[in-house]
């Protein structure tokens, strides 16, 4: 907003217009998601084959299956799938084509709204006219509308506003309708029932006017749609060509990223879920007001929140919407920690995107959409606990490099050290508090073991980071070279990696137990396989390579002679790798002097001298055979 205030008035107006259009484009793509969501709800409530089998077993002929029920379920599934495909195709349309589709649909809806209003109006007026038979001249007085029964229309709405309603619908139809407009035909179609009901025509003729007034505009809309069939086909073909060119020239990843940005999927999903929950909350509030109960407000809000959470993840589209909400919340939490650390966001792994992917995978793995409401709430709370522990791991990925950079660069800014240490302490205190709460209120289970493993793992990782940070700070205040520092850091890091690897094996065994004995599924099986490959097999290979490389480098350094104090006094030089004074050194075969630890780090990269590039260590044939 500060940037907007610095702009000129014209630029401000353009900026706000751009923002409004952006929000409008987001709202335009919400209705297809609502349609898909309702279709998935209806398909989820359809009778399944198992239910049909149970019904057939209860009948006299247990061998005959009620094929009609199965056929209806199949037809419902096919129609629902076709509706989802059409809604999804509508969702991915370009904005101008989407606006055209909405204009046609809105035209049809206006016609049906006008028809519904006309039917109610005609029934009310003609029913009153039949009862009174217009015996009095007062009944013919057009200004005395009360005598025609215009006192009640759909509940408490008075029919006094019926002409204004039809006039508004006529104006709205003329605005959104794309097609020929015969003079005086559209206003006449919307106002014809008023003329017929106030004229002395027979009742049966007046009762047909709503249908006649609806058929003519529908024929006009049908004509417009028929005329636009060829342009619509051309638009579909151009869209196919665009997709084919994008996939051929740039690949699937680039195409998906471009479409994700064009459709603004996160904002659309967020808007869809908020509107969905808001509508559900409105209906719950109305039901509560009609029930007449006098429960405490806190209890009512608590029950409403539980109901909204349970209903907010009952379909796959609703889970996607909730995932978008989780993504935004985690993103702003990440921004809060980045502000506390004065750090920048990692563009390769943004915390909001990774958290959203993790939440959706956990939701699919737990089967949120297919379980009972009570169990769904329990599973949702468990997934949120796992997500919070994963979020703590992400925060540690911000803290660890910052602590190392602050200690290694001798940064004198005390407030930056305090900020990093404060976040590190929070990363320790929060998992400990969470574990105390969970173990105090829940029994031992595989889920509790998983949360505990994740929490203890992040606590160990933070402790390792703090220990390395402390060693680097001690080295910064030393006046002499600390040759054992690299060994201490290696041992501490090795301890942390061993603990992390051990917890990875524990989590794999825990997930395998859940897969086999508690809740199987294709998604869970795939996740167990991915965890076994990346977090166990790949980590074990990487750790073994580091260990062998270090052991080889230590053996090479130990084979080199140690420089005496007299040789160092005569040399009177610094190490060419770290530029620090040499109180001890190793002598290479090319007669160059280096710190042993510095030369060992150099050997991690290559086997040649840093100065003359001669081979530092030659392996004899006997050593090769022994290895």
Check residue 590 and give its pLDDT: 83
C-alpha distances (whole Å) from 470 to each of 82, 114, 236, 492 are: 63, 77, 63, 12
Residues written for the chain: 627
Q: Report how far residue 432's alpha carbon sits from residue 70's, in angstroms, rounded to the nearest whole number.
A: 53
Q: Report how far residue 552's alpha carbon sits from residue 558's, in angstroms, rounded to the nearest whole number.
A: 10
- Bridge partners for 562 per DSSP: 586
Q: How many CB atoms lie within 10 A of CB 440?
A: 7
More confident residue, 255 or 554: 255
Asked if 568 and 585 count as a contact pair (C-beta separation under 8 A), the reply is yes
pLDDT at 598 over 70: yes
Mean pLDDT of 78-96: 88
Q: Report how far residue 541's alpha carbon sits from residue 547's, in angstroms, rounded to the nearest whole number.
A: 10
Helix ranges (H only) for 292-370 are 297-311, 316-341, 351-366
Check residue 44 and give its pLDDT: 64
More confident residue, 120 or 336: 336
Q: Report how far residue 464's alpha carbon sits from residue 480's, in angstroms, rounded to the nearest whole number.
A: 25
Q: SS3 sequence, 185-206?
A: HHHHHHHHHHHHHHCCCCHHHH
pLDDT at 141 over 50: no
Contacts of residue 66, defined as CB under 8 A and 6 or more positions apart, other chains included, come to 52, 55, 56, 59
Check residue 626 and give its pLDDT: 41
State the residue for tokens 């897969």: 515
pLDDT at 623 over 50: no
Nearest by Cα to 393 from 351, 341, 439:
351
**Which range among 83-92, 340-349, 557-566, 567-576 shows the weakest confidence by mean pLDDT?**
340-349
Helix (H) or strand (E) segment spanning residue 594:
strand 593-594
Residues 605-619 as b/e (b if ≥16 CB within 10 A, e otherwise) read eeebbbeeeeebbee
Task: Give 377-445 as a DSSP string.
Answer: HHHHHHHHHHHHHHHHHHHHHHHHHHHHHHHHTT---HHHHHHHHHHHHHHHHHHHHHHHHHHHHS---
- Bridge partners for 587 per DSSP: 593
**Which range among 188-202, 293-307, 456-470, 599-613 shows the weakest confidence by mean pLDDT?**
188-202
Check residue 464 and give its pLDDT: 93
Check residue 204 and give its pLDDT: 62
User: Start-end ranges of CATH 3.30.40.10 in the chain?
Assistant: 560-626
Structure tokens at 463: 């402790």
HSE-CB of 584 using CA atoms within 13 angstroms: 11
Coil vs helix vs strand at 581: strand
Check residue 147 and give its pLDDT: 40
Percentage of the chain lying above the pLDDT 90 cut: 12
Check residue 565 and give its pLDDT: 82
Res. 488 pLDDT band, cuts 50 70 90: confident
pTM of the model: 0.76
More confident residue, 440 or 619: 440
Check residue 63 and give its pLDDT: 44
C-alpha distances (whole Å) from 62 to each of 58, 65, 67, 194 are: 7, 8, 13, 60
pLDDT at 134 over 70: no
Check residue 439 and give its pLDDT: 92
Q: How many CB atoms lie within 10 A of CB 5?
A: 7
Q: Each residue of 212-227: pLDDT tens digit? A: 778 878 888 888 888 8
pLDDT at 273 over 90: yes
Average model confidence (pLDDT) for the chain? Answer: 78
Check residue 142 and give its pLDDT: 37
The CATH architecture assigned to 560-626 reads 2-Layer Sandwich (3.30)
Q: Report how far residue 305's alpha carbon sits from residue 281's, in angstroms, rounded to the nearest whole number.
A: 9
- Bridge partners for 131 per DSSP: none
pLDDT at 276 over 60: yes
Q: Report how far residue 279's alpha carbon sits from residue 268's, in angstroms, rounded to the nearest whole number.
A: 16
Mean pLDDT of 371-389: 88
């Amino acid at each position: 907003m500060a940037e907007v205030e610095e702009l000129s008035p014209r630029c401000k107006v353009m900026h706000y217009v751009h923002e409004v259009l952006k929000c409008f484009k987001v709202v335009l793509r919400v209705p297809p998601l609502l349609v898909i969501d309702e279709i998935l709800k209806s398909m989820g409530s359809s009778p399944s084959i198992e239910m049909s089998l149970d019904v057939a077993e209860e009948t006299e002929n247990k061998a005959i299956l009620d094929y009609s029920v199965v056929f209806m379920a199949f037809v419902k599934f096919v129609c629902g799938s076709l509706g989802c495909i059409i809604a999804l195709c509508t969702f991915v349309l370009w904005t101008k084509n989407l606006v055209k589709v909405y204009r046609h649909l809105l035209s049809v809806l206006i016609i049906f709204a006008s028809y519904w209003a006309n039917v109610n109006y005609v029934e009310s007026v003609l029913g009153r006219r039949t009862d009174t038979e217009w015996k009095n001249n007062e009944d013919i007085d057009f200004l005395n509308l009360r005598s025609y029964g215009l006192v009640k229309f759909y509940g408490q709405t008075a029919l006094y506003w019926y002409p204004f309603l039809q006039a508004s619908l006529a104006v709205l139809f003329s605005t959104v309708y794309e097609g020929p407009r015969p003079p005086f035909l559209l206003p006449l179609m919307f106002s014809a029932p008023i003329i017929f009901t106030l004229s002395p025509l027979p009742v049966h003729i007046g009762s047909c006017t709503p249908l006649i007034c609806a058929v003519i505009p529908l024929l006009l809309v049908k004509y417009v749609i028929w005329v636009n069939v060829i342009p619509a086909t051309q638009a579909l073909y151009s869209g196919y060509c665009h997709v084919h060119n994008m996939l051929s020239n740039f690949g699937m990843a680039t195409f998906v990223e471009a479409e994700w940005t064009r459709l603004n999927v996160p904002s659309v999903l967020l808007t869809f879920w908020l509107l969905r929950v808001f509508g559900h909350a409105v209906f719950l509030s109305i039901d509560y007001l009609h029930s007449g109960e006098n429960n405490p407000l806190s209890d009512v809000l608590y029950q409403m929140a539980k109901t909204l959470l349970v209903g907010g993840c009952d379909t796959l589209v609703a889970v996607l919407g909730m995932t978008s909400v989780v993504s935004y919340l985690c993103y702003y939490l990440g921004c809060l920690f980045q502000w506390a650390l004065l750090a920048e966001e990692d563009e390769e792994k943004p915390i909001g995107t990774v958290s959203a992917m993790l939440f959706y995978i956990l939701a699919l793995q737990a089967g949120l959409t297919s379980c009972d409401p009570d169990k769904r709430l329990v599973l949702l709370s468990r997934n949120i606990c796992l997500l919070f522990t994963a979020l703590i791991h992400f925060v540690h990925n911000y803290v660890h490099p910052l602590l190392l950079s602050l200690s290694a660069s001798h940064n004198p800014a005390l407030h930056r050290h305090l900020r990093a240490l404060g976040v590190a302490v929070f990363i320790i205190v929060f998992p400990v508090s969470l574990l105390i709460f969970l173990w105090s209120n829940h029994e031992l289970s595989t889920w509790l073991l998983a949360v505990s493993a994740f929490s203890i793992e992040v606590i160990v990782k933070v402790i390792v980071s703090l220990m390395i940070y402390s060693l680097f700070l001690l080295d910064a205040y030393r006046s002499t070279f600390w040759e054992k520092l690299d060994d201490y850091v290696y041992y501490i890091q090795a301890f942390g990696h061993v603990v992390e690897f051990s917890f990875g094996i524990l989590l794999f065994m825990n997930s395998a137990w859940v897969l086999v004995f508690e809740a199987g599924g294709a998604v869970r099986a795939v996740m167990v396989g991915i965890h076994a490959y990346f977090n166990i097999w790949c980590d074990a290979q990487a750790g073994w390579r580091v260990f062998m490389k270090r052991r080889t480098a230590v053996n090479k350094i130990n084979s080199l002679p140690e420089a005496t104090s007299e040789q160092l006094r005569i040399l009177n030089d610094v190490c060419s790798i770290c530029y620090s004074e040499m109180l001890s050194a190793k002598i290479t075969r090319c007669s160059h002097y280096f710190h042993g630890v510095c030369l060992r780090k150099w050997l991690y990269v290559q086997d040649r001298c840093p100065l003359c590039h001669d081979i530092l260590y030659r392996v004899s044939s006997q050593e090769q055979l022994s290895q």
